[in-house]
Amino acid sequence: MTDTEIYNKQVPILIRNAWINGKRQEMYLENGLISAISEKITDHDAEFVIDANGAAALPGMVNMHTHAAMELLRGYADDMQLFEWLSTKIWPTEAHLTDYDFYIGVKLACLEMIRTGTTTFNDMYFGMEHAARAVDESGIRACLSYCMIDGGDHEKFESEVRAMTSSVKNLKAMNNPRIMPGVSPHAVYTVSEEGLRWCAEYAEKENVPLHVHVSETEQEVKDCVAAHGMRPPKWLEHCGVLSKRCIAAHSCWLDADDIALYAKYGVTAVHNPVSNMKLASGRAIPYTEMKEAGVNVALGTDGASSNNDLDMFSEMKTAAILQKFASNNPTAMPASDALAIASANGAKALGLKAGVLAPGYLADVILVGRNPSTVPRFNAESNAVYATSGLAVDTTICDGKVLMFEGVIPGAEKVMAEAEEAAFALARRAENA
Ligand SMILES: [Zn+2]
């Protein structure tokens, strides 16, 4: 096969001359899985051979907390107080999002993720059928959860239940193994007890992940205690939400009892260090305490309006150095942990056999090319976490299909041009309303 024919086809692929799990090795991908890794693979039927030229192979990144369509609001409003930012800029603009905006926003998000080495993302937003079409075309994996916000209003709750069930039903009907539906109650301060209980039962019945924002700010914790006499994790336990399927974004303001609850129920905490620092959420996730308690911690970027990119490499670096800074301890979150929270731990939370380079795992593999910031390679993991950005990724493979090769993603220019036009039109509609 020639280079231009290779894209988006699940054919046997041999990767030669790569740095894999600390050694120069070869990797063979077949039927969407990693089928072999060894120093020399001779018995194969590869239709495409990639000479990695000394690049480091890593598992594709798993971005565990996104609002992908918010790509269209990147750089639209920054450097503001959280509530003012939400109420004067984000919410009024979101009210003007069209079906096409959801689609093209997610197309741009998928393009950015493929470009920067992410092969799976866990999204919470609206317009999930349109998001799913974008994911389907882009070739990456996603768990897509409609976001329920009922504000304590029973009629709104009932219409949100209809929206959620149709979203889950439509996504399941696509029958695409790369697209998984999820259930998302937005947060304890935007969803009623009735809504939280329903989401927990519905996620259990459909056997899908449940994705919720938890304890992002100190104010959220104080308000929850004032309203219910309990901190958010305890309130979620009371409403039946805590379980192995629960993915708790942010989880910044946790105390020892909260961490014990996460450990008891097998909840996954998702760290979003850039968003938390940019919006001044005021606290680093208690990573070391969670790790000691056996809590699964994963990593996410949050939406592009509060980050402002979806680059998991810069997120890994920020996570690792924030832990060291916040705990005044340079041994906190070593590079190997940063890589695990950015890949294997997220995959585990979504029930995917991915995030590890070993035979039998999904063929979700990226190559970090040789460039000035990866030389010398004393330690490929250290370079990946501390020295490179996602733009150093030159090859992205998901489900055994090449989505980017040598930095080229077919159709990228068209997606960027259409997304930019849609973003400007959206801003005009919001400003003229
Ligand atoms: Zn969020």
Residue 81 pLDDT grade (very low, low, confident, very high; cuts 50, 70, 90): confident
Q: How far is the CA of 357 from the centre of ligand 1 (A)?
A: 29
Unique residue bearing structure tokens 């920067």:
116
Residue type, 168: V
Unique residue bearing structure tokens 């409403």:
239
> How far is the C-alpha of 359 from the C-alpha of 301, rounded, in Å?
29
Q: How far is the CA of 24 from the centre of ligand 1 (A)?
A: 39
Q: What is the CATH number of the domain that holds 26?
A: 2.30.40.10
> How far is the C-alpha of 29 from the C-alpha of 10, rounded, in Å?
9
Q: Residue 355: inside a domain, yes or no?
A: no
Q: Which helix (H) or strand (E) holds 185?
A: strand 179-185
Q: What is the CATH number of the domain that holds 282?
A: 3.20.20.140
280-291 mean pLDDT: 93
122 lies in the same domain as 96: yes
Cβ pair 239, 197 in contact under 8 A: yes
Q: How far is the CA of 346 from the centre of ligand 1 (A)?
A: 16
Q: Residue 24: inside a domain, yes or no?
A: yes
Q: Residue 191: inside a domain, yes or no?
A: yes
Percentage, residues of the chain above pLDDT 70: 99
How far, CA to CA in Å, does 16 sit from each of 11, 24, 25, 134, 417?
Answer: 16, 9, 7, 32, 35
Q: How far is the CA of 64 from the centre of ligand 1 (A)?
A: 10
166 lies in the same domain as 230: yes
What confidence score (pLDDT) does residue 3 get? 66
What is the rounded average pLDDT for all residues in the chain? 96
Q: How far is the CA of 10 from the centre of ligand 1 (A)?
A: 33
Q: Residue 430: inside a domain, yes or no?
A: no
| Cβ burial, residue 176 (10 Å; 0-12/13-18/19+) | middle
Q: Residue 425: inside a domain, yes or no?
A: no
pLDDT tens-place string over residues 420-432? 999 999 999 999 9
Q: How far is the CA of 225 from the centre of ligand 1 (A)?
A: 21
315 lies in the same domain as 367: no
Q: At a CB cut-off of 8 Å and minimum separation 6, what does 62 contact?
A: 118, 119, 120, 121, 122, 298, 299, 342, 343, 344, 345, 346, 347, 350, 352, 354, 355
Q: How far is the CA of 303 from the centre of ligand 1 (A)?
A: 6
Residue whose C-alpha is closest to residue 73's, from 60, 91, 58: 91
Q: How far is the CA of 22 from the centre of ligand 1 (A)?
A: 35
pLDDT tens-place string over residues 161-210? 999 999 999 999 999 999 999 999 999 999 999 999 999 999 999 999 99
pLDDT tens-place string over residues 206-249? 999 999 999 999 999 999 999 999 999 999 999 999 999 999 99
Q: How far is the CA of 249 from the centre of ligand 1 (A)?
A: 7
Q: How far is the CA of 137 from the centre of ligand 1 (A)?
A: 24
> How far is the C-alpha of 289 from the C-alpha of 156, rounded, in Å?
39
Q: How far is the CA of 305 from the centre of ligand 1 (A)?
A: 10
- Number of structural domains found in the chain: 2
> How far is the C-alpha of 241 from the C-alpha of 399, rounded, in Å?
31
Token pair recorded at residue 216: 């992002």
Cis, peptide link before residue 329, omega less than 30° from 0: no
Does 4 have pLDDT greater than 80? no
377 lies in the same domain as 396: yes
Q: How far is the CA of 67 from the centre of ligand 1 (A)?
A: 6
88, 143, 417, 1: CA torsion to nearest 10: 170
Residue 118 pLDDT grade (very low, low, confident, very high; cuts 50, 70, 90): very high
Q: How far is the CA of 302 from the centre of ligand 1 (A)?
A: 5
What confidence score (pLDDT) does residue 151 get? 95
Q: How far is the CA of 65 from the centre of ligand 1 (A)?
A: 6
Does 65 have pLDDT greater than 90? yes
How are strands ordered across the β-sheet holding 296-299? 61-66, 118-125, 141-148, 179-185, 210-214, 246-250, 268-271, 296-299
Domain that holds residue 319: 61-349
What confidence score (pLDDT) does residue 433 get? 86
Does 2 have pLDDT greater than 70? no
Number of H helices and E strands in the chain, helices first, is 16, 16
Residue 282 pLDDT grade (very low, low, confident, very high; cuts 50, 70, 90): confident
Q: Which helix (H) or strand (E) holds 211?
A: strand 210-214
55 lies in the same domain as 67: no
Q: How far is the CA of 204 from the centre of ligand 1 (A)?
A: 22
Interior CA angle at 336 toward 333 and 339, to 5°? 95
Cβ pair 183, 168 in contact under 8 A: yes
